[in-house]
Amino acid sequence: MWQELSTQIQTGDFKALARGISLVENEHEGYMQFLQHLPTQEAKIIGITGPPGSGKSTIVDALIDVFVDGNKKVAVLCIDPSSPFNFGALLGDRIRMSQWYTHPRVFIRSLASHGSMGGLNPMIIEITALLKAAAFDHIIIETVGIGQSEIEIAGLADVTVVVLVPEAGDEIQTMKAGLMEIADIFVVNKGDRPDADHFVKNLRQLLAPAYSRQTHEIPVIKTIASEKTGINKLADAIIRQNSHQTKEKQTYLLTRKAWHILQRLRMKDLDIKKIEQLIVAESENGGFNLFRLVDQINSNIK
């Protein structure tokens, strides 16, 4: 089964690719060996992140248009928020991308975050490996959103694009610690709104101290994604940022990916339902202590 699936994926069969993603996401028996024998392609991963309402989906839609117009093959992974109770995906806003679902050079897949604090699907690294095997030119990942805990996209993407809106001026200072380190490109979307130019100027001033530690500036691009204004400039900046990638960054990305996969595999034997049952039982006995319980569980899995 796996060998036939691999051949179909490499020949560009989107149905086989969708089936492969489902099997890998559900950790079907043999998936790890399957991944080990996939060919390595040079597709670059573009991460699109930013606060809800900043226009990430509209920007992704516009980027698809630019890349397809350039005769490129594009894959898009849209990470949807999950229910905090059953971890199922909540309804995502994919209406703007609906024109691409039947396009022969565009593959779009929505994935649930499954409660991941990083705003990504737990199997995102394995799934992007599948997309690379299918010989896409660009792989775009749109995250749930961004905050201090949602910066894992920087450990996965070759280029991380952070989307902001002019009204986010007061938030920049509070987000600066995590935000400034992960962005390869800043996009100020909805650039026709009041104070957009002032916001761009302030953002560049905040970034100025970082330029002395880098070999190139972090682009700040103003867009009106709904009108596709500035999108060609953004696409050009993404390509240029790819060329700036150093050996150190490549090593960093591979290290982060290995770390996340190992972390997930080591955590695999931990069942949250069993932990819940232990907590209920310990609480009924009285004298419950969280750290004693954690130490007990940790000792049993070593």
pLDDT for 261: 86
Q: What angle (nearest 5°) sits at the alpha carbon of residue 206, between those of residues 202 and 211?
A: 125
Point out which residues pair with 159 in neighbouring strands: 46
Per-10-residue mean pLDDT, the chain, length 302: 90 94 92 88 87 88 95 91 45 62 91 66 89 93 66 81 80 57 88 89 77 70 95 95 73 84 83 87 84 85 66
For residues 147 and 24, the answer to whether their CB atoms sit within 8 Å is no
Cα–Cα distance measured from residue 301 to residue 63, given in angstroms and rounded to the nearest whole number: 46
Helices marked H in the chain? 2-10, 14-25, 31-36, 56-69, 124-133, 169-182, 196-211, 231-243, 247-266, 272-285, 290-301
Domain 39-265 of CATH type 3.30.1330.10: no
User: Which position has the token pair 């100020």?
Assistant: 188
pTM for this entry: 0.83
pLDDT for 101: 82
Burial code of 135-174, b = ≥16 C-beta within 10 A, e = fewer? bbbbbbbbbbbbeeebbbbbbbbbbbbbbbbbbbeeeeee
pLDDT for 122: 82
Point out which residues pair with 224 in neighbouring strands: 229
Cα–Cα distance measured from residue 80 to residue 96, given in angstroms and rounded to the nearest whole number: 15
For residues 118 and 178, the answer to whether their CB atoms sit within 8 Å is no
What are the sequence ranges of the domains in the chain?
1-38, 39-265, 269-301
pLDDT for 116: 59
Q: Which residue in 102, 86, 223 sits closest to 161, CA to CA?
A: 223
Indicate the burial class of 43 (C-beta count within 10 angstroms; 0-12, 13-18, 19 or more). buried
Indicate the burial class of 247 (C-beta count within 10 angstroms; 0-12, 13-18, 19 or more). exposed
Residue 223 contacts by C-beta under 8 Å, 6 or more apart in sequence? 59, 187, 188, 189, 191, 229, 230, 231, 233, 234
Helices (H) and strands (E) in the chain, counts: 11, 7
For residues 77 and 109, the answer to whether their CB atoms sit within 8 Å is yes
